[in-house]
Structure 1
């Protein structure tokens, strides 16, 4: 049922212990299953009680009377109870077991009345409390639905009164017994109604929670789909714009037009950063980011950070200093997520601190490895420090054009890897961010599993991109950097051209028609045609970063030319 139907049911209530037809059917199915499970311990305990009563009959009643009562208990009541216990384990149609269960209650009650009646005829009076116990047993212990148990209990009460009348009980005594038994029956009816009403209320609450959970899951799936589509469909045109602007910048332009191109490139980069931040925080909130931790040596982490951030720092005239005092320990972290954390912190310092020097250091303490990113910039005031990690928090400075998501993403990523990110800032001495992650013992990591000769010259770049315009501008940029570029529209063309190649570098889009980019990389690596590669994708569910065991970079669209150039230079050097 829909949430609206469930809310309507809650609004109109169910004092008559009935839901709307569709909901009533589901409730009865679940109720019947619950009664079957409840009947197992109840029937087992009832069977034990009747066997105990049989022994008491032999011990306390005259022999002639005991033979009759024990016969009723052992040959009628106990087999009926045993049948109920056996049926509770059988695959019966909905509602069938409940009828047998109610019938067993009726048979049990009638057997008690029969025993009292036989005792009356034998002039050995038994107290009528036995029928009271049977009524309470049906109402509360057995948990039979209100209407059914009320009907059966009324039949038992009337049968008992008729039996007492037939066996000659005086009318005044019969009236007194009848009053107490009817009072007990009414109490049981009220308790049974309240119990079923509570069960139905709990059932309705569970259905509402289930409907809300299902709605939330569907909404999450829609958000995930939207994030994926937005990530791809928005990044692709931005990628083309970035590639065109990089080619324009390489050309000889008049000063005024060159300045306009630089401003346009800055605006595009800013928009790309905003888009990436929004998509990243959305992926984190939707649980789309799953860390895959492994032991990482601090030296490798710092080297990769220097390669991706060094050129930007040089362009801004900022000195970057790296220090490793980790005492040979490793850090247990996802290499791509850790790189993203440190990159965000470095870029944050480059963009907002007005610093001339940034120091990145690694040290160990208390079973953790701590990465600190400190600068000598203007620092962070006390009021800002309290909210610096809040999503969408921005300072009041006019030169802060971001959305306030970068540091929120950093803390989220650190916590995903069982780490922390904290700020130790002094207004006069810049800012210092500390990322602490679990430390571990380093293990031998093979930096290169591909077979190639590092002394042999590289045989150029293989560019595989199915989008014609992206492929054209990518080829122009790489050729402008001095590379020998061979561009192809699909994997089949690249595989055909790769015959006889060795030690080349592959630059490929992930989503290609036919054979995807990661499979193409694996095939060319197996042929020893390439010595490394760069995987380009608009799918932000794949984290950016470098995989040293495969010698493979993963970069997101739109491409930042300086990152692509740094990745290629690293692959060429190794």
Structure 2
């Protein structure tokens, strides 16, 4: 099972909550469990195989000592030339590390062949008028369920096949119906008891697998958080010093003999440095609150054109300073279910990321109605993002390979904050990009229908 720890952890917790009494997980978890089962099964194969070989050899000697020549002359070859080679082949497959798809069928077939060989020996004895007890089948069932560790379904199915083969043999040999029913009852009861034990064993094994996976997710998350804290200290110390140093230099220059134009220019630069510092501190506070779970969305019906009016002056000033043509294509009357402050923060971070880090000359913000949702897109014509990096750009402090336009590149928190906020609002998001073809960051929010939006849905004015 591979993927971000928080996604794997959510999948594991959902499986535990749903339960697995049928001994089945959802497909991705089931595939991971089957591989885990195979690896754990391999640990017991040498001991199971050697025990089985030893048992067959002992029983061959007992056949020679206790049975008539007519019986052991046939039973010993069955044990040594049919059952033992199958067990030896399983041991060989284990040593050669056969893949799971080949090994598990062989392992199951070894149990079936071992059981049918016992049925064959019973048939040989009965055909020779030698009364051999059927209790040997109980040993086979116990061996399969508990020593071999067969899964519940496989063990039950194969055991019933062995019992049916024995009952068919006895019926063909003319066994009295009352004796056949008596033996069949005890054999089926033995299989039922083994099946219950196998179910309990597999259920406990699957639960232990889920717990181990949760523990591994927690370990990975802890290591990642520890690394993030280290990067946080380094990035915060470096990036917060930059605007503070610029402010100190410009404040010192204000005391010199400057004309009015130079003072205006310095004042603008100081204002830009203050705004940048404010964004850095705001991002730090946002990621801290979201990481601790101290910030939750305050739901409201948000007219997103109003939200854009609040943030538009700041973003257009930033775009002009970066030499970026910022365009808006947003209907005036669209309403979504969201946190108004968070929506503004999300759009600001996406637009700032596009203007500062994309390497492009144009950025377009648009909103499109997609059924019950509004889809927001922030598009740029920049250098694009490599597919490998697309899975990493939403991590804290990740900056990628793009060269920023200036030293005020931020700490790599903007997209991480966007992801955390949208996850809290259960809103899908993503990025579409390719090297040299620009990028489109998108998100979708639940649309809210009002009388005004319903009437104007087909002819919404564009806010440009």
TM-score normalised to the size of structure 2? Answer: 0.51
Give distance in 1, aligned partners of 2:129 and 2:144: 29
The within-5 A match list for 1:105-504 is 105-235=111-241
CA contact (8 A) 1:146 1:193 kept: yes
Partner deviation per Cα, 1:381-404 (whole Å, 9 max, x = no partner): xxxxxxxxxxxxxxxxxxxxxxxx
Match of 1:36 in 2: 42
- 8 Å CA contact 1:32–1:95 kept in 2: the answer is no
- Equivalents in 2 of 1:99, 1:157: separation in Å? 20
Deviation at 1:45, TM superposition (A): 0.8
SS at match of 1:196: helix
Cα deviation 1:210-250 (Å, max 9, x = unaligned): 112222222222211111112223456777999999xxxxx
Whether the 8 Å contact between 1:35 and 1:98 is mirrored in structure 2 is: no
Aligned positions of 1:3-82 closer than 5 A: 3-82=9-88
Cα distance in 2 between the residues matched to 1:211 and 1:96: 30
d(CA) in 2 for partners of 1:106, 1:243: 84
Shift of residue 207 of structure 1?
Answer: 1.1
Paired position in structure 1 for 2:105: 99
Answer yes or no: is the 8 Å Cα contact 1:17–1:197 preserved in 2: yes
Shift of 1:78: 0.6
The TM-score, its normalising length taken from structure 1, stands at 0.41
Deviations for 1:176-228, whole angstroms, at most 9, x for unmatched residues?
Answer: 11111110000011111111111110101111111122222222222111111
8 Å CA contact 2:75, 2:121 repeated in 1:
yes
How far residue 134 of structure 1 moved from its aligned partner, in angstroms, is: 0.3
The CA distance in 2 between the partners of 1:7 and 1:237, in whole Å, is 44
- Distance (Å, rounded) in 2 between the aligned partners of 1:190 and 1:2: 31
CA distance in 1, matches of 2:218, 2:122: 55
Residue of structure 2 in register with 1:2 after alignment: 8
Structure 1 residue runs without a partner (length 5+)? 246-574
Any conservation in 2 of the 1:140–1:192 contact (CA below 8 Å)?
A: yes
Kindly state the Cα deviation for residue 165 of structure 1 after the two structures are TM-superposed: 1.5
Mapped partners of 2:179, 2:202: distance in 1: 34
- Partners of 1:95 and 1:188 lie apart in 2 by 25
Q: 2:96 aligns with which of 84, 90, 105?
A: 90
Offset at residue 44 of structure 1 (A): 0.9
If you compute each CA radius of gyration, which structure gives the higher value, 1 or 2? 1
Counterpart CA distance in 2 for 1:242 and 1:89 is 71
For residues 37 and 95 of structure 1, the distance between their equivalents in structure 2, rounded to whole angstroms, comes to 17
Aligned-pair RMSD on alpha carbons? 2.7
Alpha-carbon shift at residue 92 of structure 1 (Å): 2.4
